[in-house]
Amino acid sequence: MRIFPNTFFTKARNLIGLGFASSTAATIAASTSAASSSPSSTSSSDTGDTSSSYSSSSEAQIVHRKILKTKLCIIGSGPAAHTAAIYAARAELKPVLFEGWMANGVAPGGQLTTTTDVENFPGFPAGILGTDLMDRCRQQSQRFGAEVVTETVTAVDLSQRPFRVYSDSTTVEAESVVVATGAVAKRLNFDGAGDAPDGFWNRGISACAVCDGAAPIFRGKPLVVIGGGDSAMEEATFLSKFGSKVYIIHRRDKFRASKVMQGKVMSNPKIEVLWNSVVVGAHGDDKGRILGGVKVKNVVTGAVSDLKVSGLFFAIGHEPATKFLDGQLELDSDGYIVTKPGTTKTSVDGVFAAGDVQDKKYRQAITAAGTGCMAALDAEHYLQGIGLQEGKSV
């Protein structure tokens, strides 16, 4: 992780809105249906682009919607989404990709837009900025013909064919869909935890030890991991390879991690556990440029102490961006999309999932890209099976 001026960092996390009422899709669908039958609707069968207008009974205004028809719609903007777009475009599926626009304060590009140097993505021996990597992915998608829509998906309708994907001003009718909306790393809110200039996010505070833990600013320095589950145990163990000491700060008097993972942590001489404790603040080093320490409060005694550390890693879980699906796909108990083993197929035929939205274990850019490739190939095979890959246009 290189250190950049405060103005460099872009506030971003993931791209899709996390909560939508079940009536949203029905409302938009009804409006779109009305638009399609309206005398004012126009269409272009050659391009698959239809512009429509409808008058809302509840609002005295005309709402204009753009309707796109495609063989494949991709929802997402990270490595999984763009890899799917590249493969699909090269297969002449003419995909439409919704990359979102500052949904929940998130810029297009996914979680890589929140990091600085990416050093573990093949092909960049000197590393590459996360934002630069995603810019290149986007350019490559467009080079092969993917249509990128910079709007946030607000609802989907997977109950009929073609599927329908809605944003505020665009409706996409698609024969197949790839969901690649990612998962948001959970962060705590305390003084100094946010973005620059007042906070130390990306200046010593991270949510991915595997991504950032080997950076020079953390090597040989005391570090903190916040959490009590398996992820926290894994991250603390990983960081102990680089840091001089690793503190696990946990708000309770026992972990909820598996016994095996607890055993590894408790037997590691470089790891110390601070029980019944929470972080209540973070402050900079002598120059104020990077993280220099955290304020730790004991929830039993109320005592607050200062802990000198150079890195803090949140390991309190992730929230997959699946609420907008409104229960139309099978999810596991944590909200991740369930895919059939060895594939990206979901519970709905013709809908596929790639990247962190269906991967709670690895959560890496390169594994996300791999599943994006799988999703595009699975979609292509599906379209071949229903006779839409070649010859017949949507």
Provide the pLDDT for residue 184. Answer: 85
Residue 91 lies in a domain: yes
Provide the pLDDT for residue 106. Answer: 57
CB of 185 within 8 A of CB of 13?
Answer: yes
Of 208, 230, 285, 373, the active-site residue reads 208
Asked about 211 being catalytic, the answer comes back as: yes
CB of 77 within 8 A of CB of 109?
Answer: yes
Provide the pLDDT for residue 111. Answer: 79
Residue 391 lies in a domain: no
Residue 52 lies in a domain: no
Of 117, 157, 195, 212, the active-site residue reads 212
| Domain match, 163 and 230 both | no
CATH code for the domain of 156: 3.50.50.60
Residue 172 phi/psi, 5° resolution? -110, 125
Residue after which a domain boundary falls, among 286, 316, 346: 316
Residue after which a domain boundary falls, among 256, 286, 316: 316
Of 73, 137, 195, 211, the active-site residue reads 211
Residue 199 lies in a domain: no
Residue 147 lies in a domain: yes
Residue 322 lies in a domain: no
| Domain match, 214 and 293 both | yes
| Domain match, 312 and 338 both | no
Total of domains in the chain = 2
| Domain match, 370 and 295 both | no
Q: Is the dihedral of CA 35, 39, 40, 45 positive or negative?
A: positive
DSSP-assigned states of every residue in 211-276: HHTTSTTTTTSEEEEE--SHHHHHHHHHHTTTSSEEEEE-SSSS--S-HHHHHHHHT-TTEEEETT
Provide the pLDDT for residue 369. Answer: 98
Pairwise CA distance, residues 275 & 299, whole Å: 9
Residue 193 lies in a domain: no
Q: Is the dihedral of CA 332, 336, 340, 341 positive or negative?
A: negative
Residue with token string 């005694």? 301
| Domain match, 174 and 255 both | no
| Domain match, 232 and 180 both | no
Pairwise CA distance, residues 355 & 375, whole Å: 9
Provide the pLDDT for residue 253. Answer: 96
| Domain match, 288 and 343 both | no
Asked about 157 being catalytic, the answer comes back as: no
Asked about 212 being catalytic, the answer comes back as: yes
| Domain match, 90 and 179 both | yes
| Residue 234 structural domain | 205-316
- Vertex 362 angle, CA 246 and 270, to 5°: 15
Residue after which a domain boundary falls, among 316, 342, 358: 316
Pairwise CA distance, residues 302 & 310, whole Å: 24
Residue 88 lies in a domain: yes
**pTM of the complete model beyond 0.85:** no
Q: What is the mean pLDDT of each run of 10 residues along the chain (394 residues)?
A: 37 37 46 39 43 47 80 96 98 96 67 81 93 95 97 95 96 98 91 93 92 92 97 95 98 95 96 98 94 98 97 94 95 97 98 96 94 98 82 51
